[in-house]
Structure 1
Amino acid sequence: MADFKRKTYAEKKEELDALTRQLRDGIHDYIGSQRYTAVLDSISRFHHYSMNNSIIIGLQKPEATQVASFTTWKSMNRTINKGEHGIAIFCPVKYKTEKEFEKLDSKGVPILGDDGRPLTEKKIVNQTTFKIGYVFDVSQTSQIEGKKEYPLSFAEDLKFEVEDFDCYMRLIRDVSTVPIEIKSFRSAAKGYFSNSEKKIVIQSGMPDSQTLKTAIHELAHSYFHGKDNINPDRLTFCVAECMEFPNLGEYHDNLSLEDAVKLYHKIPADRLNAGKGIGFELHDGSIYSGGMFPLVEHDKIQIDSINAVKHYRESFEVQKAIMDMREHFPDDGYSLKSTRELQAESVAYVVCKHYGIDTSDYSFGYVTSWLEDENQLMENLDSIKACSSEIIDKMDVSLKQSFQEKYGIHTPEEMAIQLDDYLQDLDLYEYRDQEISSGSIFKETLQNIKEGNTTHIEKFLKETISDNRDVKMTEKGKELLKCLKTFQKEEPLELLTRSRGRGMKR
């Protein structure tokens, strides 16, 4: 597990900025990569199916993701697995036939014969009928050994193991607003977040790294796109008949988002001809607390003006409000599904990277598969950073508690005792031969921990761990190092720069 370290606001911001730059640059490089070109080439080999056939395929095999005929799979060096049954579809069959038509003049008027009846002529026309054909999903096929393999996905599955995997999953469950289940389900998806069922489900049987990344991806969906996920103690909404002068006309405050939207639509747009709107009030203890800021005016979300304020740009609650409001006031060019997936996978990349888990092989390809253009990523970086910061902050708090519970060290005094005992047991400098008693460094160590002056202690522990003289003592040193970092003091933040309060209710 990556070392736990309490960071100052400036350090967190610098790290998130760096990670989102890595995300942006990584996706840019991926788009120009050979793999991206190869996948596009593979996709071009697949047939496009009609709406009716798409429905029929879904009814027969709901988990199907990529279907093609036997011939197409063979051309891609894949064979149909033994015992598999094809998925029936309607295949168009074109043929020619002779039909009789009325003769028309240059103006489209029927030409009459001597008997006054319209003259006719025979023409060859194209006709289409349908027959039953069969296709197979990629899950029903296997790569033919020794032949060229065509990439079928933008993303490469993560297959490496993760140290302290169980601890990370426990942290994710701790910060999730909905239950998380790991079980097998019939779908090609690796996981999903259900708004209606209020739960996250992760496909079982995947490697640790893929399971962990998927869990954070779905966690991001639940944070960003879950209903009733805005804390009313942190953010409320108001509706004004006149946003410029709220004291004129009808005004309602302390509303939920849903109630605000309903009231907004009930107010006639032309009652005062002054521009009705929806505003928000942030309650986070900052200098912005209690002040109303426009969220919607003239049926448009005021994204640019909101994000011009750094404090709102970095606030998860405000960014979440923008996401939720988009369902009621869609933006031009805003593709809900593609943007949601881009946001969730980007957050998964940033959070995993924060804890030393590199998901580049999967995340860059996945984001690229949903990316409509590179500007789409740039437009969402603020919301990605805000949500990533929210999850990291909560996981860090749970991580501290987890370490302290796991190793039974809850106070600076207990930490100092453990360090003193470790030094005595290690006997690195033959203290016992010098008749230096246990507890001789306790007071000094305790004072250093309370003052946050632990750099030299960390250095000592890392050196003894790297020496690896004794397996038992090495493991003990790793435990103490993790615990020591939970006692590092967090630098107090001025209200002006504080982007969010601690301990947000869930």
Structure 2
Amino acid sequence: MAYDEKEWREFIRMAGKREEQLKEITERLEQGVKDLFTSEKYTEYLRTMSQFHNYSFNNTLLIAMQKPAATLVAGLATWNKKFNRRVKRGEKGIKIIAPAPIREKEEVEKFDPETNEPVLRPDGQPETEEVEHFIPRFRVATVFDITQTQGDPLPELDTPELMGSVENFEIFMEAIRMVSSAPMRFAEIEGDSKGYYSNANKEIVIRDGMSEKQTMKTAVHEVTHAMCHDRDLMEELGEKKNKMTIETEAESVAFTVCSFFGFDTSDYSFPYLAGWASSMEMKELRSSMDFIRKTAGTFIDGMVENIQMLQKEKAAERELAEDDFVFQFAPLGEDTKKFYLVDNVGRVDFLRLLHDFADQNGGSGNPEQFLKAHGVHLDLWRDSEDVEKNQGMPEFYDVLYMDADHIVDAAEFSILIQVEMMISRAEYGHTALGKEAHNLAVLYAYKLDNPRDTRELVNKLAEAVENPEAHNLQEIMEDAQAEIDFLPDNQTGLMQMHEFGYRNDSILPLTIERAVALHNAGLHIYSLQKDGSSILMNTEDDIRETGEDGMFGIDARAWESYQVMESVREEHAGQEHLDEDMLFSDSQDRYAIYQIRDDGKGREYLFMGTEYLKGQGFSVEYEDYRMVYSDVLRENETLDSLYEKFNIGHPLDFTGHSLSVSDVVAIKRDGEVTAHYVDSFGYTELPEFFSQREKTIEQEKEAEPQESSLQEPQRDDTEKQYQEIEIFEVPALFSNGRIPEKEVPSELYRYDLRGSDYDPGIPVTVEYYVGVNHAGTILSSLCLPIPEREYLYLGEELNFTGGMATIEQLKQSAIALNESLDTKEKNKSRNNGYRI
């Protein structure tokens, strides 16, 4: 390249300027070396060197002199082009020495590589060739620390502080054993020493029982001694160093390594430093400092490499924890998959960062570096392209990234997809749940549509399958099944209600037929709307007019109370629905369903109408039937409504078949019992149906031995027992039927309940008399202050004690209670003493 005169003068001028700059910085460097060996400046230099251990001694010292807190430096062009960052206005650059070799060319004789003889041309003259030479030269370069720039975040590297944390204790100690030139063991050590390197035994001994942090620091220190100054190795290399040099070098390397890994170095000091440096020539000082830099660099690089390798092995081998967040990267159109574990960012923030990456990069490439640059800790767990990490690729994830248009949040899937992923995760590397437990988990998810509770159930099932001695699998499954069975309708679940658009879980879903059945049982039924509202259904016609496409619901608290009340009633009422005697003895109107016995001759006319019976000469006989259900007859119930009830929405405890031809419906109204045959069209009354029952009863009485005068007399109605309760803390009795006024002694007070304590719309009330929606009768020991023609609301003030008593027993209790209270105390108790 040829220069014109002007260019040549400029080149000479700039070269002269570079020489002056280099001379100036070299002089500053010489002074820096002289000033270095004070304890404070020396430790400052070592800290800087821990971040720049691959830089030369000169440049490390220059950086420490100008910006000791620097961690990452680069030139202006590198920051701009490679990292897309700009130097902040007003920032002063850091001057370092950079290589600037000069390239020269010259003609030299060419030699044959085999004979090493000159190669001759045809004219006999030596052949020549052009050879380039590089003459080492240096120049002053300007760099800037990352803190002096702004722009895109840098990819986050594995931080030394994280590598040196106590959480990584086992990995750190294993890595240091791999770096160490001598074996390491723990033992009791006399005196104050925390550890030592034995030249004689070629081993490192560390005091047993120290904290993990102190153990890690001591291991670094002693490995440094073994690496730097093994006596035999020094003799072999012909190195001779005095004791002070050996100690300074070892302490300096240990300090640098500890600084890099974030250990506390405040206990390091170099009081002998100035004396040691003053006794050495500058060449020796530079040699020693270069030895410290190279040894520390080798130590640090080896540790980082080993720690990263061990961390990857640990990640590949470790089992998933319940709270591990799994991120899958699977580029669209490719077969590769990578799975990462994320431990420091929540789902919402993680998804936001992924969308930011997609917006900035058009969705192409792996977002790993972008996420790390924004502080996300990503631990590569499985990789389809890595043999070591390709052992059974998972079929589950929390978030999947394919491209900008395919960022998938597993939490947005339907519960049925989520539960399969939960099961796959729980079974990954463990025993399979088994078909029964698997199906139960899926049913639980479908019915309850609660991801958190479903995940908890799946984990419990997995733990029980994996460790049956510690967990009772059957008990866990029974508890889950009980939650499923609590729902009022086995034909639908919360998932369908949510998909319908109604998401208020205080309401439980119902199909139309179940809604009709529960409406007829006296509960409030709601028509659910997709906007989250609900409409109370006042009649069965309201429900049916809504249609099959509608969704119905019942208040969850009302359903729970209904089940509790039904359980209490069933417990204390015995087999009321199967007690035929109540059809004839109960003072209330009742009905009963009779169906043909399996073991009688009635099977010959099962499901046949009366015309068929007449043609075959059959007659309907009481002895051919058994009663399968009986209950109180409501005022508005008829034969037709009972037929519909026992075909469409039969009671929960009804176990017979749907009401069909050949069944008999008995009706007791106003004390008269009539029987009605379900015929091919409508009903046919059977006037003589119960006459055989009366004959059978008479025959049984005649067959019984006569009672002697010593036998206990037959118990009359005065011995009938009722449930003991407390109402507003007053002793009382409860009957779910009516107790006639004539049976109530004058010492007691009779009240009716309206509605029931499971009615979600209207609270249960205590009144003097209830005709419609009668929910029970109460006999109280004391008069309740109910306003005339009004009522009292009833909530937790009604408590079943669990006992049973007769009316006579309550009467005697009331007499005793009244005798213990004078008139004044009675008035006080009525107005102040009870929670009314």
TM superposition score category, shorter chain reference: 0.3 to 0.5
Larger Cα Rg: Structure 1 or Structure 2?
Answer: 2
- Structure showing the higher strand proportion among its residues: 2
TM-score normalized by the length of structure 1: 0.34
TM-score w.r.t. length of structure 2:
0.22
